[in-house]
Structure 1
Amino acid sequence: MHTVFATHSVDNQPPPFGTHNLWDDDAALREAVCREGGEAFSIRLAEYGALAGGRLLYLADDAHRDRPRLLAYDAYGRRQDRVEFHPAYHEVMGAAIQHGVAGLSWTQPGPGAHVARAALSFLHYQAEPGSSCPLTMTHAAVPVLQQVPALREWADKAAAPYYDARCVSITHKQGITLGMGMTEKQGGSDVRSNSTRATPLAADGEYTLIGHKWFFSAPMSDGFLV
């Protein structure tokens, strides 16, 4: 018979976090959103607060236990250059994009929209911070892409509330994510010293990029700003 032996009582540790509504529990956040003009989105924020403080926390645990894997080649030696993630990661991304963490301020422009999107982000990253990079960059890339008429499809799909993890052309997707290539060996953190050069190929807007990127964020994305 096994007997449990207790060495001592530990009473200075917090209890398990459990399930919480991260919006309802945060009086300071609610006050700030109301003060800055986002009160009209309160119901939406409360719904996401419940999701972020519940299911997303458990999905984040699963996603973090499994490291992303680089799939350079398939079983037949064909080049893939694809990053594989745990299914829980894709569910976290899908929930965030569906609820507007990346695109609310562009799909529902109006008073308080940017405030509400920032609040959604604040709620989401408490549950799963690792997805903040592709979500934030997808949101930030939209107004840049909107300035180029030929890239309107990219802008619209980056703002859309649809997540599609497949490695296929954006013409087959309702929604996309975007990453960024920033630093390089030559410039490091001093982007003024970067030596990457873009050379136009033809009048259709295509370029060749010559450089050596040191840090390329969110390589699983559909497109990148460089």
Structure 2
Amino acid sequence: MTTDTGSFSINHLAQTHEVFNQSRPLADYNAYQHDTALQEGVQRHGAGWEQESLLQHGARTGSAQVIEWGFLANEYKPQFEPHDRQGFRVDRVRYHDAYHRLMALALEEAGLHSTPWAEPGPGAHVARAARYYLQAQVESGHGCPVTMTFAAVPTLRLTPAIADEWLPRVLARGYDPRNVPHADKAAVTIGMGMTEKQGGSDVRANTTTARPLAAGGPGELY
């Protein structure tokens, strides 16, 4: 472009401002190694033996790749798909691949759903809590099914007939995102199914009624 004063590049017109007061993105750091309070808590409450594993998980959860999974899983929300392309009823929910990667990290690599139950011992729950704390800083939404699966184990153990069928899959260190029956999976997650008219966040106001499909009783279908 030429003006009365000579030639100049039009690129300078796009330079509206300079960002200079922002910190660099927090990425590619060890989330455990840089958390002194967490390290002290782990040592104080009997899980010092998990130090090396926590350092490894801290490096994973502090990596740019895993942090990006957290952003993507929130930006691209689950989509309900009642029918497939041919019009058949499927009633499935599609998740972004980043969500599945976070679930695999939580279940396969970190064992956040099962380790204190499958490998009990002094400090086992503390070690699991520390790993969960690191994982939740990346993205908290996927922690819901992880927590429900973890919390379901003591309840399932109260009914041996159900436990024998479900616990091997619940405790397995794996993640299978396929929309198939549980019998076709080596690993499953557990969720709570409730429908409430009022919705809301006050779960104390929720009421659920279960009606037996047959004789009823512990371990029966409702």
TM-score scaled by structure 2? 0.84
Aligned to 1:105: 116
- Equivalent pair of 1:141/1:155 in contact (CA under 8 Å): no
Preserved contact between residue 196 and residue 206 of structure 2 (Cα < 8 Å) = no
Q: 2:138 aligns with which of 127, 135, 147?
A: 127
Matches within 5 A, 1:19-168: 19-54=28-63, 55-98=65-108, 99-152=110-163, 153-168=165-180
How far is the alpha carbon of 1:206 from its aligned partner? Answer: 3.4
User: Who wins on radius of gyration, i.e. which is larger?
Assistant: 2
Kept in 1: contact 2:149–2:170 (CA 8 A) = yes
The Cα shift of 1:77 comes to 2.5
Distance 1:16 1:86 in 2: 23
Shift of 1:113: 0.7
Following superposition of structure 1 onto structure 2, how do residues 3-18 of structure 1 map, counting pairs within 5 Å? 3=12, 5=15, 7=17, 10-11=20-21, 13-18=22-27
Cα distance, 1:179 vs structure 2 = 1.1
Aligned residues: 207
AA at the equivalent of 1:140? A
Describe the shift of the 1:108–1:14 C-alpha distance in structure 2 as closer, same or farther (beyond 3 A): same
Q: Supply the RMSD in Å over aligned alpha carbons.
A: 2.3
Of 70-79 and 95-104, the range deviating more from structure 2: 70-79
1:20-69 alpha-carbon deviations (Å, 9 max, x no partner): 11010101001001111111111111111110111311222222221211
2:184 is matched with which residue: 166, 169, 172? 172
TM-score when scaled to structure 1? Answer: 0.82
- More strand per residue: 1 or 2? 1
